[in-house]
Amino acid sequence: MPKTLYVTDLDGTLLNSNKELSPMTRKTVNSFIADGGYFTVATARTAASASIILAGLDLSLPAVLMNGAVFYDFKHKKYIRTETIAETEACTIADTIKQHGISGFMFAVRNNTLVTYYENLKTQHMKEYYAERVRRYYKSFEKVEDFRHTAAGNDVIYFTMTDEYDALSGLYNELVNVAGIDMAFYKDVYSDNLWYLEIYSINASKYNAVSYLRSYYGFDRVVGYGDNLNDIPFLKACDEFYAVSNAVDELKALSTAVIDSNLNDGVAKHLARMESVLL
């Protein structure tokens, strides 16, 4: 039997509309792992929120976080691999964000701790994001005068911005030809009109991260699950890929098959079928 890794996205895929694991999903995933299945997650989330959301899961493999910018070991609470943005590119990104009048968050790993910087909480969504991360996930933030000054001499790994499509598309189009970086531009699954633009090292995609896990741990096959546009690079790293029924049409069209929705424990049900093969 081929050694197979199962990897899932979180929001809109494994998590329900409350951004939580259902009891059924938690129980099924732990049973799958206990019976010899290899399982981990690949998400845009940080360790601060993912560690709370995934509490109680028996994850032994590293998680792919921040769209592949970092690998995180939940058992030992440490970053085991990070992909930084070169200082020149980080400063270019900071300058371009400012020129477009857009606010967001910049991330760096310092002494095994993720540091989140912001210049101002310009939009209502930023204020809500900030409040939720502090209240629900105990995340810490540092206010700075200028991203560019902070990026100089710092190991920046990630930028993220949330706004309406028209506000972010111009920034995306200007940065798309910057060497050394990659981006994910996709709709927020919890909102009708907001989009995410996330920027990271060209070495830090879900594709590269999942390919690294395959090679490092000697997996013969990789099976993935997702729902959104930022999962398309992830899909390309998998031998089989399943879109939940609530996924965007572009991802469904590329997938091996469509499974039940995140609200109906689609990933857990599919894992349960795979578990029967292991036994």
Return the pLDDT at 197. 97
Right CATH number for 87-201 from 3.40.50.12240, 3.30.1240.10, 3.40.640.10, 3.40.50.920? 3.30.1240.10
Neighbours of 14 (CB within 10 A): 29
Which whole number is the average pLDDT over 82-90? 96
Return the pLDDT at 138. 82
Residue pLDDT, tens place only, 188-223: 988 889 999 999 999 998 999 999 999 999 999 999
Domains 4-82+205-278 and 87-201 belong to one CATH topology:
no
Q: Which of 68, 10, 6 is nearest to 209 (CA)?
A: 68
Which whole number is the average pLDDT over 136-152? 91
Which whole number is the average pLDDT over 116-143? 91
Q: What is the sign of the dihedral through the CA atoms of 246, 259, 14 and 17?
A: positive
Residue pLDDT, tens place only, 244-265: 999 999 999 999 999 999 999 9
Return the pLDDT at 137. 87
φ/ψ of residue 218, rounded to 5 = 70, 40
* Residue 157, burial from CB neighbour count under 10 angstroms (0-12, 13-18, 19+): buried
Say which CATH class 4-82+205-278 falls into. Answer: alpha beta
What span, in angstroms and rounded, lies between the C-alpha atoms of 118 and 216? Answer: 35
For the chain, the residue count is 279
Residue listed under structure tokens 């050394």: 180
- Residue 279 pLDDT grade (very low, low, confident, very high; cuts 50, 70, 90): low
Residue pair 141/134 in contact by the 8 Å Cβ criterion? yes
What letter would DSSP give residue 17?
T
φ/ψ of residue 26, rounded to 5 = -60, -45
Residue pLDDT, tens place only, 215-247: 999 999 999 999 999 999 999 999 999 999 999
- Residue 278 pLDDT grade (very low, low, confident, very high; cuts 50, 70, 90): low
Q: Where are the domains of the chain?
A: 4-82+205-278, 87-201
Neighbours of 32 (CB within 10 A): 20
Return the pLDDT at 125. 87
